[in-house]
Structure formats: C-alpha cells, structure tokens
A = this chain, B = another copy of it.
Amino acid sequence: MSDKRQAKKEALRTRLLEVTTEQMRQNGIEDLRARDIAKEAGCAVGSLYTTFEDLDDLILHINSNTLQSLGAALALGQQEIDEPAARMEKLACDYLDFALQNYRLWRAVFDHKWPEEKPVPNWHLDNQHQLFLKIAIPLKELLPDADEELLLLEARTLFAAIHGIITLSLEERYAAVQKSILKQQIIKFTKLIIAGLRA
C-alpha cells in the first residue's frame, strides 16, 4: 500500500472512532447504526466495514479506549500519595468520578454484548489486565504475602464490589445509594475493606 493510501486509511479509522465515540457519549450503544456513523464520518458504509470487521469490533475498540482512559485517570490520581490505604480510597473515588463524567461510555464497556461465538481479542484482554495491575499495586502493600495471582484475584473482586455499588446507585436501581452520599459511602466502604485486610 502506498504511503498516501495508508495515511488516508489511518485518517478514516481515526474519524470513524471519533464519530462513534461521540455518538456513544451522547446516546450509548442501543441506537448505534452503521449508516449513521458512516454518514457522520463522510464515508460509505462499505468503507466502515473495510476499516472494522463489524459494529461490535468498532465498539470494542472504543470500549478499550475507555478502559485505557480510566487506567490513565486512576494512575494520575495515585501520584504523590504514599500511604496504601489512602491510595485505595483515591482509586475508588477516582473510579466514581470517571463513571460520572463518562457515564454512557462507561456503561457501554459493561453493556456491550460481544458475540458469544467469537473469542474476545487478546489486545482487549491485555487492556483489562493492565487496569487490574494498577489496582493490585496498592493492594500489594496491604497484602505483602500475596503472590501476583492472588493479588489480581483480590483486585478483581474489590473492583467488582465498588463497581456494584456505583452501578446500582447511578442506575437508580434496587439497593441504590442516594447519589448525594455515594462518594461518602464509597469512602466508608473502602475504609471497611482496608480495616478488614489489616485485621
């Protein structure tokens, strides 16, 4: 492929990702249509399908970007905090803030149903793994004897617990904690976990 053609292809890819990200940020994934995306990006529907395998593949790339942005936000918040318990608390609060500020993109990560018959691509699994490694770092200081496998298991479990509290609250579902006291409740819950880990 010539350099020029390659550059054009890259530009289209970037534009499709931008346009779809914006549509997902506005409306989530429920009403996402290839035709609307192509129209907004100024290309033919066929060009979308030569750039991405299908709509699921396109959404997965955006969800992967969302996880990377989340990882970056969590890493940024950890800087200049030494104490592991304070870092765990900051992680939980930063996760809440990220969910609030990127609500529909964040929901898409959990609502998107990847086709059962296709394996989830490795690049996406790696991306998830990187996120849990970030949570495992402060946890290692609280659980110095745990090996990496155990730390990652605990990181996944704590993430899922905090995620459950935030999700039910933001969706105003059963067991919802009122939004006005959600951050305070997340902090209390993280302190409880840390007290348990240290007991």
Contacts and interface: CB of A to CB of B under 8 A. Distances in A.
Interface of A: 67, 109-110, 128, 131-132, 153, 156-157, 159-165, 167-169, 173-177, 181, 185, 188-189, 191-199
Given A164-B164, A165-B164, A185-B153, A175 B198 contact: no
A192 B185 contact: no
Contact of A110 (B153, B162, B174): B174
8 contacts: A67-B174, A160-B175, A162-B164, A164-B165, A164-B167, A192-B197, A195-B195, A195-B196
Copies per complex of this chain: 2
A104 B175 CA distance: 19
Given A153-B185, A160-B176, A161-B164, 15 more contacts: A109-B174, A110-B174, A157-B189, A159-B175, A160-B164, A160-B167, A160-B169, A161-B162, A161-B165, A164-B165, A164-B168, A193-B196, A194-B196, A196-B197, A198-B199
Nearest to A167: B164
Contact of A163 (B157, B168, B191, B192): B168
List 6 A-B pairs, minimum CB-CB distance, nearest first: A164-B164, A196-B196, A161-B161, A192-B196, A195-B199, A195-B196
